[in-house]
């Protein structure tokens, strides 16, 4: 009995049309990464386990895919560990490698390993798949691409300005007008926690605040209470929920809350510099908006934080995010290397472009010209023509077998091929070929000796 | 103590220059795949183990990287299996997924799973990494890319002709002139084994013959003897070692040996059709050559076999190979789907281009223009200029910090950036910018209001 094939849950096959659409997004992102001066690197799909483990918290450790050692792996497990029959104790004995969980930790590892070859500031981009043993659900996969651009080794806020412009450039080019780039600064969040007397509960405070969009003001306050933040502190924080006006006006309102907090005022000054920098040049289609409730779950951000939301009316989580982290490479022994970066959410951008019908029509056209196969002599003439078309970069092919014409035309139809070329016995004798426009049904005759006349009509 | 980071043996980090060179090869291959009418698909990095296991022989099974099940995997192992402490018995209990070993088996799985969406003949290409737990050595890695193009669902030999042309087109475009595309047919090999009375030892016979290049005629004969092929049979096969003339002449010599073998004569007829087909159109820079000793290790080929060798004088194994297999999808329950395909050896092609100095100079240039950063006001003007350059697709950036000029110039030098733009206090006051050509040392002044004048010089 042959197997009925399937693929692991949370993974996907991509059809030609899907690959074309994904590549369209990736190529657009890549183009702007490069035009902004970022350089590509690639790292291995799997890393030594110690490079990854402990970098993403306990939950992250659990979600990392581990690779079984090759050979007679079990004979290397000592009897004491083996007799415990405990998965966590066994893992380090039978698995030394693990699949990449994100691109940031491998990048930090790369920077440390190659520090002597790198010219800092190092602007790198990386577009590669990552793997997580997460529970699969709509829009969440076990294998997915990350598209990251980061700068390491430069503390200037010029990078923060550049990243806002980069988001704007990519989304404008994709035709996705009206995105909102939300901006905040971890220092402002620290300042607020300090100002309201909840400094020791900073993480709980920011995690709760981050949920404002989802659970509303009351929900956030309730969660803060539950986490041990006092009613008094929460009351002090209430201006956060009542901010109004444009970004610069909101910054002014924040100032009154943070005037006593050194770190808070530093955050405000940074935000102002970024906002001013962006305004000096203007944006094409995106909107930059201060959002003091923006926290992002990750704990390694230390300065600016970004998150991009799709145009209004499209229900979708953030389609991009990032921020500054002051100590990217410290975990691998290289101190004081500041980094700042952003990420594009490929799968979500795909869904948004699909929903708004923004993928170019041309992506569904894989072949421009199909030559019908009428037999050996005819198909040799067809191959010669096709050879000339290909030389001009025109995607074209000869149907491989001289099967029924109807079947060949159906194939052209199904594959959405716009032009079908007919070279039958008569045409061969006349030195001509007939081109059928599949959309209009029109037919036109050209000379085999002058294919350029046809090429010019394309 | 921070860890000293490393990567798993047999894997590689790719620097920006290496990525650029690899992408140059990949993009060239891709361009021709598409112009020949092939469509891209992508499959998951890991497959269910039963999809892969047993498809590559025992050695292949051992070399497949297995992924440990998530969660408390060991509690699901029954006590009897566990107490055996045997790696092979444990694997299926603790690992359900495995990393892709090649692109052919996942492709067969794809065709069967998506047979109702596919328009046959299906011309697909796939360029993705594969993983093998092989002993790493020079030029052999545990993670490497395969670049495959296959057609399934068409038996006509027009495909075989097309693949020769495709090899020629790609290698010509890469500037790699003088490659040899060696061609043989498994039916000819079967015919020879039959004609010399060693039909039952076909695999041993072809495996030995395949080593002619490496171990010479005597070595091959010795190995055949050792495998139980009689001296008499080997003597009958000796015309194989003495073939001369061009491909069509060699075919004639083969005929006398194979005249009694139906399958052998079929192979000769196929080879003749392919060679005639290729000659009708001619090749640009490659040479097609019949090689009756070509066998290729894999047992699933049933018709034409290809192997491409680098231009003479370059010491390198084959840089491409492929062939026809009559029953690609049978293992997954879809019978009688014939396939034919070729593969490009990315890593070896890279080494050959490097050795011959064939990578375009432009690949080492990641950024075209760097603006020196002289401070906040100046850098805002520089950003405006850079913005206009980027709009024209020119890769450009502003140095992120207003550090010492010398340091910024050194960065431009190290990164091989050809033009450095200077906008200092004076230039800002004059509304100008100075461009320094890093190769010639020449400086030229332009107006900030007319960046297009500079752009036209690029």
pLDDT in tens, B164-195: 999 999 999 999 999 999 999 999 999 999 99
The answer to whether residues A345 and A405 belong to one domain is no
CA A317/CA A322 separation, integer angstroms: 14
**pLDDT per residue as tens digits for the range A379-434:** 999 999 999 999 999 999 999 999 999 999 999 999 999 999 999 999 999 999 99
How many C-alpha atoms does A336 have within 13 Å on its Cβ side? 0
**B306 labeled binding residue:** no
The answer to whether residues B211 and B349 belong to one domain is yes
Instruction: Give chain A positions within 8 Å (CB) of B394.
Output: 35
The answer to whether residues A376 and A338 belong to one domain is no
pLDDT over threshold 70, residue A298:
no
Which of these three, B331, B356, B381, is where a domain ends? B356
The pLDDT mean for chain B works out to 94
CA B349/CA B127 separation, integer angstroms: 15
Enclosing domain of residue B297 = 16-64+101-356
B72 part of contact set with chain A, CB < 8 Å: yes
The answer to whether residues A344 and A375 belong to one domain is no
Which of these three, A356, A374, A409, is where a domain ends? A356
The answer to whether residues A168 and A56 belong to one domain is yes
Mean pLDDT of A91-111: 97
Cβ atoms A234, A240 nearer than 8 A: no
CA A107/CA B457 separation, integer angstroms: 37
How many C-alpha atoms does B263 have within 13 Å on its Cβ side? 15
List the single residue in B with minimal CA-CA distance to A28: B393
The pLDDT mean for chain A works out to 94
Instruction: Give chain B positions within 8 Å (CB) of A282.
Output: none
Task: Tell me if A179 is assigned to some domain.
Answer: yes
Task: Tell me if A8 is assigned to some domain.
Answer: no
Mean pLDDT of B365-381: 93
List the single residue in B with minimal CA-CA distance to A141: B44
The answer to whether residues A332 and A424 belong to one domain is no
Cβ atoms A69, A94 nearer than 8 A: yes
CA A88/CA B436 separation, integer angstroms: 60
Pick B43's closest partner by Cβ from A13, A70, A400.
A13
Instruction: Give chain A positions within 8 Å (CB) of B155.
Output: 401
- What is the helix (H) or strand (E) element at residue B150, kind and residue range? strand B143-152
* Residue A230: predicted pLDDT: 92
The answer to whether residues B155 and B126 belong to one domain is yes
Contacts of B430 (CB under 8 A, 6+ apart): none
Q: Is B302 helix (H, G, I), strand (E, B) or coil?
A: coil
* Residue A188: predicted pLDDT: 94
Tell me the three-class secondary structure of B376-401, residue by residue.
HHHHHHHHHHHHHHHHCCCCEEECCC
- Which residues, listed in sequence order, are joined to residue B422 by a DSSP beta bridge? B434
CA B379/CA B401 separation, integer angstroms: 9
Look-up of token digits 């640009």: B284
- What residues of chain A, 382 to 401, have a C-beta less than 8 Å from chain B? 383-384, 387, 390, 393-401
Q: In what order do the strands lie in the sheet with B97-99?
A: A46-48, A97-99, A66-67, B66-67, B97-99, B46-48
Instruction: Give chain B positions within 8 Å (CB) of A388.
Output: none
CA A198/CA A130 separation, integer angstroms: 36
**pLDDT per residue as tens digits for the range A209-268:** 888 888 999 999 999 999 999 999 999 988 888 888 999 999 999 999 999 999 999 999
Q: Is A140 helix (H, G, I), strand (E, B) or coil?
A: strand
Rounded to a whole number of angstroms, the distance from the CA of B167 to the nearest CA of chain A is: 14
Task: Tell me if A344 is assigned to some domain.
Answer: yes
Rounded to a whole number of angstroms, the distance from the CA of A40 to the nearest CA of chain B is: 5
**B103 labeled binding residue:** yes
pLDDT over threshold 60, residue A1:
no
Cα-to-chain-centroid distance, residue B382:
42
Q: Is B172 helix (H, G, I), strand (E, B) or coil?
A: helix
Rounded to a whole number of angstroms, the distance from the CA of A403 to the nearest CA of chain B is: 10
The answer to whether residues A347 and A421 belong to one domain is no
Q: Do B396 and A91 touch (CB under 8 A)?
A: no
* Residue A212: predicted pLDDT: 87
Cβ atoms A352, A338 nearer than 8 A: no
Q: Do B46 and A72 touch (CB under 8 A)?
A: no
Task: Tell me if B84 is assigned to some domain.
Answer: no
Mean pLDDT of A86-102: 96
**A348 labeled binding residue:** no
Q: Domains in chain A: how many in total? A: 2
The answer to whether residues A376 and A314 belong to one domain is no
A367 part of contact set with chain B, CB < 8 Å: yes
pLDDT over threshold 70, residue A297:
no
CA A455/CA A388 separation, integer angstroms: 9
* Residue B117: predicted pLDDT: 94
CA A214/CA B76 separation, integer angstroms: 38
Task: Tell me if A91 is assigned to some domain.
Answer: no
**pLDDT per residue as tens digits for the range A178-221:** 999 999 999 999 999 999 998 888 888 888 888 888 899 999 99
* Residue A66: predicted pLDDT: 98
CA A52/CA A259 separation, integer angstroms: 40
Pick B75's closest partner by Cβ from A45, A87, A94.
A87
Instruction: Give chain A positions within 8 Å (CB) of B414.
Output: 119
- What residues of chain A, 245 to 264, have a C-beta less than 8 Å from chain B? none
- Which residues, listed in sequence order, are joined to residue B419 by a DSSP beta bridge? B369, B437
Rounded to a whole number of angstroms, the distance from the CA of B245 to the nearest CA of chain A is: 26
The answer to whether residues B183 and B267 belong to one domain is yes
**B61 labeled binding residue:** no
Which of these three, A315, A338, A356, is where a domain ends? A356
pLDDT band at B365 (very low <50, low <70, confident <90, very high): confident
Mean pLDDT of B413-432: 95
pLDDT over threshold 70, residue B3:
no
**pLDDT per residue as tens digits for the range A127-137:** 999 999 999 98
- Which pTM value belongs to this model? 0.95
Give, in order, the Cα–Cα distances in Å from B156 to each of A399, B163, B167, B449. Answer: 10, 12, 19, 63
Task: Tell me if B209 is assigned to some domain.
Answer: yes
Provide the strand spans (E) within A107-179. 122-131, 143-152
By the 10 Å C-beta count (0-12 exposed, 13-18 middle, 19+ buried), A277 is classed as buried
Mean pLDDT of B116-138: 95
Task: Tell me if B83 is assigned to some domain.
Answer: no
Task: Tell me if B3 is assigned to some domain.
Answer: no
The answer to whether residues A306 and A393 belong to one domain is no
- What residues of chain B, 168 to 197, have a C-beta less than 8 Å from chain A? 169
| Domain containing residue A301: CATH number | 3.30.930.10
The answer to whether residues B249 and B391 belong to one domain is no
Instruction: Give chain B positions within 8 Å (CB) of A16.
Output: 39-41, 124
Q: In what order do the strands lie in the sheet with A432-437?
A: A396-398, A369-371, A419-422, A432-437, A443-447
More confident residue, B261 or A317: B261
Cβ atoms B195, B260 nearer than 8 A: yes
Task: Determine the residue among A44, A86, A368, A393 to mutate to test chain B binding: the one whose Cβ has the most chain B Cβ atoms within 10 Å.
Answer: A44
Q: DSSP string of A255-272?
A: HHHHTT-HHHHHHHHHHH
- What is the helix (H) or strand (E) element at residue B267, kind and residue range? helix B262-281
Q: DSSP string of B59-78?
A: HHHHHSPEEPPSSSGGGGS-
B114 part of contact set with chain A, CB < 8 Å: yes
**B174 labeled binding residue:** no
Mean pLDDT of A340-347: 96
* Residue A21: predicted pLDDT: 97
């Amino acid at each position: 009995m042959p197997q009925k094939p399937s693929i692991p849950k949370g993974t996907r096959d991509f059809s030609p049309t899907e690959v074309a659409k994904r590549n369209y997004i990736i190529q657009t992102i890549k183009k702007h990464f490069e035009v902004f001066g970022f350089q590509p690197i690639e790292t291995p799909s799997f890393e030594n386990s110690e490079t990854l483990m402990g970098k993403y918290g306990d939950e992250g450790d659990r979600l990392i895919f581990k690779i079984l050692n090759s050979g007679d792996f079990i004979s290397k497990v000592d009897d004491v560990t083996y007799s415990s029959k405990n998965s966590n104790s066994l893992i380090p004995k039978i698995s030394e490698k693990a699949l990449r969980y994100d691109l940031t930790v491998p990048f930090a590892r790369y920077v440390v390993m190659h520090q002597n070859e790198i010219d800092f500031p190092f602007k790198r981009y990386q577009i590669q798949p990552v793997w997580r043993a997460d529970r699969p659900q709509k829009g969440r996969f076990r294998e997915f691409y990350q598209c990251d651009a980061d700068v390491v080794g430069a503390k200037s806020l010029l990078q923060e300005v550049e990243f806002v412009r980069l988001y704007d450039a990519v989304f404008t080019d994709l035709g996705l007008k009206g995105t909102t780039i939300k901006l905040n600064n971890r220092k402002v969040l620290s300042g607020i926690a300090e100002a309201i007397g909840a400094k020791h509960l900073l993480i709980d405070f920011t995690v709760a605040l981050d949920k404002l969009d989802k659970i509303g003001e009351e929900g956030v306050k309730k969660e803060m209470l539950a986490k041990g933040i006092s009613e008094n502190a929460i009351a002090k924080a209430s201006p956060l929920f009542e901010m109004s006006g444009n970004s610069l006006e909101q910054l002014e309102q924040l100032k009154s809350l943070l005037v006593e907090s050194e770190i808070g005022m530093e955050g405000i000054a940074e935000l102002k510099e970024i906002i001013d920098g962006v305004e000096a040049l203007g944006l094409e289609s995106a909107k930059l908006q201060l959002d003091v409730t923006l926290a992002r779950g990750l704990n390694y951000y230390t300065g600016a934080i970004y998150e991009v939301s799709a145009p209004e009316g499209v229900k979708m989580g953030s389609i991009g995010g990032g921020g500054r982290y002051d100590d990217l490479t410290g975990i691998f022994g290289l101190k004081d290397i500041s980094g700042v970066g952003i990420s594009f959410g490929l799968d979500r951008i795909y869904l948004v472009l699909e929903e708004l019908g923004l993928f170019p029509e041309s992506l569904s056209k894989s072949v421009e010209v199909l030559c019908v196969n009428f037999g050996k002599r005819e198909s040799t003439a067809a191959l010669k023509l096709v050879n000339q078309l290909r030389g001009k970069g025109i995607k074209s092919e000869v149907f491989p077998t001289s099967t029924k014409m109807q079947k060949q035309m159906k194939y052209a139809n199904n594959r959405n091929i716009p032009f079908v070329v007919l070279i039958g016995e008569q045409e061969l004798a006349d030195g001509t070929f007939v081109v059928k426009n599949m959309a209009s049904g029109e037919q036109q005759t050209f000379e085999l000796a002058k294919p350029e006349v046809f090429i010019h009509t394309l």
